Amino acid sequence: MSHIELHHLCKSYDQNTFAVEDATVAIEKGEFFILVGPSGCGKSTMLRMIAGLESISAGELVIDKQLANHLPPSKRNLSMVFQNYALYPHLTVEENILFGLKVRKVKKAVQKQRCEDAAKLLGLSDYLKRKPRELSGGQRQRVALARAVVSDAPICLMDEPLSNLDAKLRGQMRTEIRQLQRKLGITMIYVTHDQVEAMTMGDRIMVLRDGKIQQIGTPLEIYNHPQNLFVATFIGAPPMNISKAMVDHENKQLILKDMLCIPLTEEQMKNVTSDVVYIGIRPEQIAHGKGSSRDMTFPVSLTNVEVLGNETVLSFPVGENNWKAKWLGQWPLDIHKKTEISFSMDQIYVFDENTEEVVISPVWKEHVLKEVLTVESR
Amino acid sequence: MNLAEVERVNVRNEVEEGERVKQKIEEFQVVNKESFWKRTKNVRIAMLYLLPSILLFSVFLFYPMIKTVYLSFFLTDSKGNAAIFVGLENYQYLLESARFQKSMVSTGLFVLYTVPTSVIIALFLALLANEKLRGIGFFRTIFSSTMGMSVAASAVIWLFLFHPTVGTINHFLGLFGIPAVRWLLDPTWALISIAITTVWMNIGFSFLIILGGLQNIDTTLYESADIDGAGYFYQLRRITMPMLSPTLFFIITITFINSFQSFGQVDILTRGGPAESTNLIVYSIYQDAFINYQFGTASAQAIILFIIVFVLTLLQFKFGERKVHYQ
């Protein structure tokens, strides 16, 4: 049963341009749903429309099978965690956590119980009498979470809740939020611009750009089968390498300016209609040295080498573009030296030049993977 | 190990650590070998920037203040020169004088009338003007416009409004069948009339400061409360007022001090009359000094005013600040 449904949801602030256009999606009960995109793509606007903090210009918002377009925020049965946490600086942690319950005139005993439970859950028991300014960033974040937890609302909205934390704490809170959501079984809608958060936390991801939905799917679907050039380059770090290539329809190959000729199979060729395409290859699919005969092998001169301890990121020019490769292990190679790299032709993506939609993508052997897993677990 | 022992060990460790820090600093310290002249370069530049203020304050603030204290211990001649040293007699005389006592009572009443009224009206207007409505900028301008008006100009406007026969206010009251009030001529109404004028003049500044305070409150606090289902007045009481408390405290203190120092409107509207009912303390000082040429008693009054305002402001800080939530 869908918990929240959007039907052609639109928002326009100035009546000339759309901040969110035609968003249609059904979010399941207990799902961790992520809205991701670059800043200004409309993801926060969409979240605020669901919360009722922003009016809906057009389209329908359905919560629990009930049309919620004109419901006030308090009647939508949800909680929200803000980017700056929105803690009341003049109230103690306990008063902050209980603010919503006091408003709803929940019984004192119940209030106390729920506050204690939430504090214990989030490790705040020792800080209940403190003011928010006496807490560290991570603790404030937990207070904001506790406020969402005590409300007992079946839906929780989060607007970039981790962006004010340092990298280490962010990693920790990522796991904590995910575990919390699983434990409480709430429906979570989570806005972020961080693709790592999107990939690691979400059951499903919606990628947005300029107010339009680019793709909705599980993290692996988004990663393995990006529907267009934007999604391909947005998800993945370092991003997918992209270059323009000419299509040689006669010889059934793609020609990358003076560098490469990539032969295509008959079947793949059918999908390619235009004369110019973008080809893409993930950095982790580029290997060191000569590959097998089916692989493309060519020499490049390195412009940058970043050794990260467990992996190495190399940069090198390919045609007009700068490509990156990610190799496992430590490769302290000299800059400006020639080195040989290769990638499998099965791993390339091809995007149409005009529509930027994907026309060829690698085969994703999901069922094989699943079979292996089931065999192993036996 | 019991608690006392743990405490002792901790203290010892702290002492040892302190020794270690001192030793290390002594060992590796690099002494600044620049000359005194070079080292104080920043101080000299700072003084240069401070010089205009120091000069102006000295001439127009510090010197008059010290001179006032000095004069308050003397009887003066008609030119304001100290003539005979009388010690605290000026103060003694004042505290026994019925005129001064009446002036103090009027001033007290005046402060009581103006401060709460100004702040409450300004707060109300600021809450209205803080709503996001079309054309709200127009109202914000109007509400803060009295800030740009001189005391003299506003007093003259109110002089016309208060006129017993042709004044707009009495005319307006007449429409409802209310008999004409002798605003500035009746001893009981005169102080109220001056208070009304002062409140009107105060509103502009207070409004602007309070509006600024309101706009500084993070909107997500209200959004969060909206989601929790808190109503307007609940939000006003539990969020707006606490968050606004530093601003309110500031504006109350300023209005309070300003009220004690009101002079212009008294001079233009009533000249301290009728029957000295509006003889506020600053006007009384002015009369003593520049009409009666009693610079000694005038100075003593000024010092008393200074002490009263100083003490009341201190008390305000002591007791009022407990209710203020700084972020």
The whole-angstrom separation of Cα A345 and Cα A286 is 11
Q: Are A53 and A249 in contact (CB under 8 A)?
A: no
Over residues A172-209, the pLDDT tens digits come to 889 989 998 998 899 999 999 988 889 999 999 999 99
- Mean pLDDT within A256-282: 82
Quote the tokens at residue B176: 């409802």
Say if CB A46 and CB A23 are below 8 A apart: yes
Give CA torsion, residues B101, B107, B108, B111, to 10 deg.
180
- Asked if pLDDT for residue A263 goes beyond 90, the answer is no
Interfacial residues of B (vs A; Cβ cutoff 8 Å): 218, 220-221, 223-230, 234, 238-239, 242-243, 245, 325, 327
DSSP designation for A132: G
Taking CB atoms and an 8 Å limit, are B224 and A89 in contact across chains? Answer: no
Residue A138 and residue A165 in contact, taking contact as beta carbons nearer than 8 Å = yes
Q: What is the mean pLDDT of residues A261-283?
A: 84
The count of C-alpha atoms lying within 13 angstroms of the C-alpha of A97, restricted to the half-sphere facing its C-beta, is: 32
pLDDT for residue A1 is more than 70: no
Phi/psi-derived region of residue A40, left when phi > 0, alpha when psi is between -120 and 50, beta in every other case: left
Inter-residue contact A264 to A298 (CB < 8 Å)? no
How many other CB atoms sit within 10 Å of the CB of residue A290?
11
- Please report where in the chains the tokens 């009546």 appear, as a residue: A15
Say which residue the tokens 């079946």 belong to: A154
Better pLDDT: A368 or B24: B24
pLDDT value, residue B181 = 78
For the cut 80, the answer to whether the pLDDT of residue B5 exceeds it is: no
pLDDT attached to residue A247: 87
Looking only at the bridges linking them, the beta strands covering A260-263 and A187-192 are unpaired
> How far is the C-alpha of B171 from the C-alpha of B2, rounded, in Å?
86
Task: Answer for the pair A286, A342: CB distance below 8 angstroms, yes or no.
Answer: yes
pLDDT of A368 reads 67
pLDDT of residue A213: 92
Query: Hey, CA dihedral for B222, B226, B228, B230, is it positive or negative?
Result: positive
Beta carbons within 8 Å of A9's beta carbon, 6+ residues apart: A20, A22, A23, A24, A46, A49, A56, A58, A59, A60, A61
Could you tell me which chain B residue has the CA closest to the CA of A158?
B224
How many Cα atoms are found within 13 Å in the side-chain-facing hemisphere of B137?
2
Q: What is the pLDDT of residue B58?
A: 94
- What's the pLDDT tens digit per position in A14-26? 888 899 999 999 9
- pLDDT bin (cut points 50, 70, 90) of residue A369 is low
**What is the structure's pLDDT at B316?**
86
Distance between CA A324 and CA A320 in Å, rounded? 13
**Confidence at residue A120, expressed as pLDDT on a 0 to 100 scale:** 87
Residue (of B118, B139, B138) closest to B128 by Cα position: B139
B311 — pLDDT class (breaks 50, 70, 90): very high
What are the phi and psi torsion angles at B305 (to 5°)? -60, -45
Closest of A223, A219, A192, A184 to residue A203, by C-alpha = A219
SS3 A327: strand
Put simply, whether A106 touches B (Cβ < 8 Å) is no
How confident is the model over B62-74, as a mean pLDDT?
90
For B143, the 3-state DSSP assignment is helix
* Number of inter-chain CB pairs under 8 A, A vs B: 63
Mean pLDDT on A296-325: 88
A114-170 pLDDT per residue, tens: 898 888 888 888 888 999 888 888 889 889 989 988 988 899 999 998 888 888 888
pLDDT at A242 exceeding the cut of 60: yes
Residue range A40-75, pLDDT digits in tens:
899 999 999 999 999 999 999 999 989 999 999 988
Out of B6-15, B44-53, B120-129, least confident range: B6-15
Number of helical (H) and strand (E) elements in chain A, helices listed first? 10, 22
For an interface test with B, the pick among A13, A103, A114, A155 (most B C-beta atoms closer than 10 Å) comes out as A103
Task: Give the list of residues 6+ apart from residue B95 with CB closer than 8 angstroms, or none.
Answer: B101
* Contacting residues of B for A133, CB less than 8 Å apart: 327
User: Over 70: is that where the pLDDT of A216 sits?
Assistant: yes
A151 to chain B: closest CA residue: B228
**Would you say residue B1 has pLDDT above 60?**
no
For residue A340, what is the enclosing H or E element? strand A338-344
Residue that the structure tokens 């009930």 belong to: A66
Residues in A touching B226 (Cβ below 8 Å)? 52-53, 72-74
How far is it, in rounded angstroms, from Cα B169 to Cα B307? 38
Residue A367 has pLDDT above 80, yes or no: no
Window from A362-366, B202-206, B254-258 with minimum mean pLDDT: A362-366
Select the residue of B229, B238, B243 nearest A74 (Cβ to Cβ): B229
Chain B residue at shortest CA distance from A89 = B327
Residue B12: partners with Cβ closer than 8 Å, 6 or more residues away? none
Q: pLDDT value at position A241?
A: 92
pLDDT, position A378: 58
Q: What is the pLDDT of residue A138?
A: 86
Instruction: Quote the CA–CA distance of A165 and B202 in Å, as a whole number.
Output: 45
- Whether residues A103 and B230 touch (CB distance < 8 A) is answered with yes
B79-96, pLDDT tens digit by residue?
778 778 888 888 888 888
Contacts of B228 in chain A (CB under 8 A): 74, 99-100, 103-104, 151
Q: What pLDDT score was predicted for residue A376?
A: 65
Query: Does residue B228 have a pLDDT over 80?
Result: yes
Helix residue ranges, H only, B29-61: 36-39, 41-57
Percent of chain A surpassing pLDDT 70: 96
CB of A125 within 8 Å of a chain B CB? The answer is no
Task: Tell the burial category of A216 from Cβ atoms under 10 Å away from its Cβ (0-12, 13-18, 19+).
Answer: buried
Q: Is A298 on the interface with B (CB under 8 A)?
A: no
User: What pLDDT does residue B3 have?
Assistant: 65
For range B299-303, the mean pLDDT:
90
Kindly state the average pLDDT of the residues B101-123.
93
What number is the average pLDDT over the span B155-178? 84
Contact residues, chain B, for A88 at CB < 8 Å = 221, 238-239, 242
Task: Give the Cα separation of B243 and B230 in Å (integer).
Answer: 16
Structure pTM? 0.80
Which stretch, A283-287, B92-96, B210-214, B313-317, has highest mean pLDDT? B210-214
Q: How far apart are CA A350 and CA A228, in angstroms?
A: 9
Mean per-residue pLDDT for B21-28? 90
What three-state secondary structure class fits A297? Answer: strand
> Does residue B124 have a pLDDT over 90?
yes
Q: Quick check: B277 pLDDT over 60?
A: yes
Give the N- to C-terminal CA distance of chain B in Å, as an integer.
Answer: 42
- Is residue B36's pLDDT more than 70? yes
The helix (run of H) or strand (run of E) holding residue B265 is helix B264-269
Q: Is A164 helix (H, G, I), strand (E, B) or coil?
A: coil
Which alpha helices (H) appear in chain A, and where do they start and end? 43-51, 93-103, 108-121, 137-150, 167-184, 195-201, 219-224, 229-234, 266-271, 366-377
CA-based nearest residue in chain B for residue A133: B327
Residue-wise DSSP of B160-209: HHH-TTT-HHHHHHHHTTPPPP-TTTSHHHHHHHHHHHHHHHHHHHHHHH
The ipTM (two decimal places) reads 0.82
B223, A86: Cβ pair inside 8 Å?
yes
Confidence (pLDDT) at A214: 93
Q: In chain A, which among 312-351 make CB contacts under 8 A with chain B?
A: none
A266 phi and psi angles, rounded to 5 deg: -55, -45
pLDDT at B211 over 90: yes
Residue B56 has pLDDT above 90, yes or no: yes
Residue A206's H or E segment, with its range, is strand A204-209
CA–CA distances in Å: residue A154 to residues A76, A148, A149, A188:
10, 10, 10, 9
